[in-house]
Structure 1
Amino acid sequence: MHVNASPAVVRRLVAYGLTNLRKRAGYSQAEAAKYMRCSQGKIANLENSRNLPRLEFIEKLLRHYDAEDEIPRYTELLETAEQRTWWDRLSDTKTLVGLQTFIGLEDGASKTEGFHALLVPGLMQTSDYAREVVRGGQQSDSDLEYKVELRGRRQQALTRSTDPLHAWMVIDECALDRRIGDTATMRGQLEHLVELAELDNVQIQICPASVGPHPGLTGTFEILHFPIPEDPGVVYVETRVRAVWFEDKPEIDQYTQVMNHLRALANTPEESKKLLTEKLKEL
């Protein structure tokens, strides 16, 4: 687990770790629950990261799993999982329902990949571009700068000095041709994409309009991956009113197949840089 792991991701690490230790010890969830004198639902919620156990509970559970040597490690993990972060202070009235969870997972992810059909990904938007996008969404003036600043803070994950987030985005050409703001805003946004594409941890591909119909026409999505053994990751889909999550492996596999198909259809990263440069010249 890298040092930038957020509490949201550490919760997943605890959940998957306890699941693996239980299976290694040869117990079912029902058997573990019987020993702990709790409901099977409590063990299930513990293993799907819905609940965070108390230290006393986890110490007893680890002894039952013959993993007493893991107690110091899980003590440290629980302390990290309970830490407060800057996104814990996000206002529910000013942000999309579920966005707080997404930011916590994104901050601790090792990789994010996705397809963006209508706009430049929020993780790669300039403040001027983001401001016009938020304004176009008919947000109140009081929310405007709040949301622009929020996107800027998220982007720090791409350039942090230790374990920067790896991002691989396929952007539909239509998103680049959609005029957001004035010419200066679009120029600044395209220049920013060119700069990001030079980072070792960033891959940008443009899916040209000439490819016609493709699997990404169903909409924008992102897949987050975590440095946790056996964790399949999560798929994030954003609607106007809330964030929608897919965490079952068959669902994630479907989106992964779509992502791989789009990567094959899109221009290569080098070709995409040239296309971005050409669009800059056209402004």
Structure 2
Amino acid sequence: MSRKKPEDRRVVRTRRTVIYTFLLILIFMYISAHAQLEEERAQALQAETLETGNAAQAGLAAGQEENGEQVMEQEKGDGKAEGQEGLILNPEDMWCLILTNAQYPIPEDYLPVLKEVPGQGQSVDERIYDPLMEMLSDMKEQGLSPVVCSGYRTLDKQEMLFNRKVSAYVKQGYSMEEANQMARRLLSIPGSGEHCLGLAVDIYCESYQKLEAGFADTKEGKWLRENCWDYGFILRYDQGKEELTGIDYEPWHFRYVGKAAAQYLKETGMCLEEFYIEESLYG
């Protein structure tokens, strides 16, 4: 038997190497092509799924809009008062629903455009002037004698009134802490106050010129309590709401919130703080 020469062995090894390399290249090309195909399939499936989802979402939104329109049409057809089913808040109406109390101060740069109440020596936000004058006029036509004794106040005046009340209590022998706590039951603390919004008025009458609980028993006090809602006003600090408002009962203090909100608060018996909680308006 003849032996293969070393040159023949090298030729065989070279051929095997070439063959193996070629096979590896073929395998690599197959794997790459297969992976690319799977990726294209996945992208196509994802695009199809996204398109389907968008179509479904659009259909859902259209259905909700249609249902909303149907509900609104049904409410109109039923002739129900808006407050009975809930109050729809419109952004353009939020100016008269601003809440200010011990927790929510008034921005220092808040400056309402004012209009003077004739013969009263007081001013209010010009946007509540017409409903206020209408309410006062209707009262006078019925033989009543309302007097707007307090309207808009600057933040500085509110602070002065509060500090004066604190000083009065201190002179009576109360500690500074006690005086502050007592004063804040009667007056808004510095930096807050509905009068500083220009949206509130204090009203008494010619026969009872005192801001005391007794005003509630006058004809003017009773009329205002029963009818202020029709003009967009509410009795802001009512009995039984002291813990919520932080202010004692004030049957003379009326705040403008707009007719829809006033009617809603009347029907539900809520104060403005409760309304903010219900509508999740607290920031």
The normalised TM-score by structure 1 is 0.21
The normalised TM-score by structure 2 is 0.21
Higher relative contact order (Cα pairs below 8 Å, separated by 6+ residues): 1
Task: Return the index of the structure with the highest Cα Rg.
Answer: 2
